[in-house]
Amino acid sequence: MTQEKLKLTIAHLYPKLLNIYGDFGNVLTLKRRCEYRNIDVEIVNVNIGDEIDIANNDIYFIGGGQDKQQIEVSRELQKQKDKLTQAAKDGRVFLAICGGYQLLGKYYLPHDKDKLDGIGILDAYTVAGDKRFIGNVTANTDFLEPNTLVGFENHAGLTYLEDGTLPLATVVIGNGNNSKDKTEGARKNNVFGTYLHGSVLPKNPHFADYLIKTALEVRYKRPIELEKIDDAFEWNAHNALVGKKY
């Protein structure tokens, strides 16, 4: 029996505004790791004023950015709130980095600016702190094998999780959500937020594959096993960073 040709569609939200630290590398990683497995990938860039067609998108990606860019994206996201909330309820995968992550929560309150509304698909809120957290992060998850996640953080926002949303990981090195409660990122159903730039997926191949597998299983409504690929280089990068502060 010929194997069904699998396909994924990735909606990249506001790439012209939220793409600090090359967060676009996450989209490229998802695309490449699918193509290595002969899975077709379509990338749909969603810019200001574009309508989002939630019927066809399997993964939503939104990167990080400065407060200024977040203001414009916050306004636009309010127009898309119902659609994106439905997509999250349907189990679609979201990966949001830093500034984008903050806007999937209830709000982000920057320094000396008006509160930016989020879309509330994560039970979380963010307020700007007095200190900017910049540096390497190692954190432990309870759903990946190995359990480690590595990346680079640069944010002043302090994010606090509320009931209904779990942390993505527990901080070992670095600050994570707020440097107080040892949480890093957030997870609710298949919506994932993280402060990890880097970009995060190239050197966390297990997280990238987890997102791909989850999105395929939601789309095709059946268990999907991903073919093993030669990613020794990516794992060398991951292992070189685990536990490293500098």
> Which residues are annotated as catalytic?
98, 197
Is 99 a residue that touches ligand GLN (CB under 6 A)? yes
Rounded (10°) angle between helices 205-220 and 232-241 = 120
* Alpha carbon distance 186, 167 (integer Å): 4
Binding string, residues 131-170; x marks residues near ligand GLN by CB under 6 A? -----------------------xxxx-------------
Phi, psi torsion values for 15, nearest 5 degrees: -65, -25
Q: Does residue 193 bind ligand GLN (CB under 6 A)?
A: no
Secondary-structure percent of the chain, ordered helix, strand, coil, rounded to 5: 30, 30, 40
End-to-end CA distance of the chain: 51
Least CB distance to ligand GLN at residue 141 (A) = 21
Among 10, 14, 65, 199, binds ligand GLN (CB under 6 A): 65
In the set 20, 28, 52, 226, which binds ligand GLN (CB under 6 A)? Answer: 20
Q: At a CB cut-off of 8 Å and minimum separation 6, what does 54 contact?
A: 83, 84, 86, 87, 90, 92
Identified binder of ligand GLN from the candidate list 45, 47, 56, 66, rule CB under 6 A: 66
Of 59-67, 114-122, 207-215, 233-241, the segment contacting ligand GLN by CB under 6 A is 59-67
Query: Residues in the site for ligand GLN, rule: CB under 6 A?
Result: 20, 64-67, 70, 98-99, 154-157
